[in-house]
Structure 1
Amino acid sequence: MKVRDLMTSDVTCCQPADTLQQAAQSMASQNVGSIPVCQNNKVIGIITDRDICCKAVAAGKSHTTPVRDCMSQKVVTCTPETDAHEAADLMATHQIRRLPVCDSNGSLVGILSIGDLATVDIHINEAGDALSKISVPTAAPNAVH
């Protein structure tokens, strides 16, 4: 099965100059935890609810801070033709729950979530395996044990 058969094609993006509040409002209205950051429909980053919490709120930044200041810039993507098994491996390897899907021109055409993989019976084990690898906790610096 290919990613194109599982991905969500109606994807909301934000721009690098959008505020964190705008990104958070988009996440809330779409009921998602991350939004690709695009320029000219090309993915240049991704902003997550965790980025907003840990890189902005915890650091005392304002809700008017631009998304570009807190987004993750190293984005792993796949194409619609990527095999679903390979996509699950990418998610596990890079410890990510969402994978932007870009066409051959690099334009955003969809997003694949770990949940999308879990909805297909043949991928339940892979989705579970990927999720278990993604969900491995790491010790925070200066963590109290």
Structure 2
Amino acid sequence: MQVQDVMTPNFRVIPYTASMGEAATLMRDEDVGFLPVTNENQVVGILTDRDITVRGLAAGFPPETAVSEVMSPGVDFQYADADPQAAAQLMEERQVRRLVVLDQSNRCVGVVSLGDISVGSGNPVLGGATLERISEDSPASSVSGEPNPAA
């Protein structure tokens, strides 16, 4: 089994110039809390509903503020042909619950969540154990240090 077997292939992205209000509307309409942020088809960051709420609105930014002002820069990712266990391990290390999925050409082809791994891998223990370790207190990095993937 590979990450591509459990990932969500149909996902939406948002341009870095879009507003927080536009992002919130898209999240509501698509029933998601996570959007890859793009600049000229390159994924340059991640935007979560928490970013909009905490970094944006609670910090006093108006809804018209560009998502680039409140997004998490950088991208945590896993390759589509990787084992779901490797994705779970990376989620633990980075303390994130979602990863962008890339093909071997570094093109963004999906998103994999902790829930996708837990349900899709047939190993709910993996998901529970990973969630427990993700939730532990420790410094987390949101930048992978790898090349910027194309969307």
Q: Same fold (TM over 0.5)?
A: yes
Distance between the aligned counterparts of 2:24 and 2:43, measured in 1?
A: 18
- Alpha-carbon distance between aligned partners in 2 of 1:77 and 1:121, rounded to the nearest angstrom: 18
Superposed, 1:1-145 pairs within 5 Å as 1-120=1-120, 122-136=122-136
Q: Quote the offset at 1:123 in angstroms.
A: 2.6
SS in 1 for 2:76: coil
Identity across the alignment (%): 36
What secondary structure is seen at the aligned counterpart in 1 of 2:72? coil
Larger radius of gyration: 1
Letter matched to residue 32 of structure 1: V
C-alpha distance in 2, partners of 1:40/1:101? 18
* Alpha-carbon spacing, 1:114–1:101, altered in 2? closer, same or farther (3 Å): same
CA–CA distance in structure 2, aligned partners of residues 58 and 10 of structure 1: 31
What TM-score does the superposition give when structure 1 sets the normalisation length? Answer: 0.89
Task: Could you tell me which runs of 5 or more consecutive residues in structure 2 were left unpaired when the two chains were aligned.
Answer: 139-151
Give distance in 1, aligned partners of 2:12 and 2:47.
12
SS in 2 for 1:59: coil
Shift of 1:41: 3.0
Q: 1:121 and 1:102 mapped to 2: Cα distance? A: 18
Runs of 4+ residues deviating >4 angstroms: none
Amino acid at match of 1:109: V
Structure 2 distance, partners of 1:40, 1:131, is 33
Equivalents in 1 of 2:33, 2:100: separation in Å? Answer: 13
What TM-score do the two structures reach when normalised by structure 2?
A: 0.85
Q: Which amino acid aligns with 2:107?
A: S
Name the structure 1 match of 2:148.
Answer: none
Tell me how far apart the structure 2 counterparts of residues 62 and 50 of structure 1 sit (CA, whole Å): 15
Q: Distance in 1 between matches of 2:23 and 2:136?
A: 27
One-letter amino acid of the counterpart of residue 55, structure 1: R
Q: Which runs of 5+ in 1 are unaligned?
A: 139-145
Amino acid aligned to 2:123: H
- RMSD over aligned CA atoms reads 1.5
Q: Give secondary structure in 2 for the equivalent of 1:119.
A: helix
